[in-house]
Amino acid sequence: MEIVVTGRHTQVKQRFRDVVESKMNRVTAIAPDAQRAQIVLTHEGNPRQADTAKRVEITVIAGSTVVRAEASSTDEFSALDMALDKLTLRLRRTRDRRKDHRRGYTNPVPVDMGVVEPEAEEEVPEEEPNNSPAAAVASDLGPGESVEVQVGDTPIVIRRKLHIAEPMTIDEALYEMELIGHDFFLFVNKETGRPSVVYHRHGWSYGVFEIDTPENVQ
């Protein structure tokens, strides 16, 4: 499995890379078909957020399946451990779903997913504040590219990213939302062709928003 470690607003020390290498066998033990793992270490410079100063995001790609987890802590090593705990739990769920599927059981959410572009490998340089939130959406982006803009002297940072994915059903979107650990997931509905969002409500209840223009709605 290819392992890529990058830093965002921070330099990645060799010790952290070594620890990552030694602990990623937890991933291959559960998902031997994993092809790539990307670990992004982010430093939060705001002193008011010292308790979550280090954030670790782990993305594992196995074929067309993408599993993601992230965690924040005071240091990168504890954040890595927490993110790995979340990731291995989601990998086990994915493995169990596949086993049930082969046995002929019916799952409420399909395993098949659209292809998700991995994060870019290059280290992302820290953006210069420019006092203009509009700058975050002013430039053209390529697939997988992202841009961050700080709003003036405030701690607010706007991040914009272009994500390319195949249209999918609502069930597929729900499953992918669970794998990446978000409370919502933006997708293009295969059945309607509309930009849509699935989201958690409470318990096992979910919601779906669809977006369209007035001229298309009769």
Express each pLDDT in 91-119 by its tens digit: 887 777 666 555 554 444 443 434 444 44
The model scores a pTM over 0.85: no
pLDDT tens track for 8-38: 888 999 999 999 999 998 888 888 888 899 9
Regarding whether 93 and 11 lie in a shared domain, the answer is: yes
Helices and strands per DSSP (H, E), number in the chain: 4, 9
Residue 78 — very low, low, confident or very high, per pLDDT cuts 50/70/90?
very high
Residue 169: pLDDT over 80: yes
The verdict on residue 50 lying in a domain is: yes
Distance from first CA to last CA of the chain, Å, rounded?
51
The confidence score (pLDDT) of residue 14 equals 94
Tell me the Ramachandran region of residue 148: left when phi exceeds 0, alpha when psi lies from -120 to 50, beta otherwise: beta
Total domains in the chain come to: 2
The verdict on residue 136 lying in a domain is: no
The verdict on residue 113 lying in a domain is: no
Spatial neighbors of 164 by CB under 8 A, at least 6 apart, are 117, 143, 144
| Main-chain phi, psi angles of 116, to 5 degrees | -110, 130
Q: Which residue range forms the structural domain that includes residue 71?
A: 2-103
The verdict on residue 137 lying in a domain is: no
The confidence score (pLDDT) of residue 156 equals 78
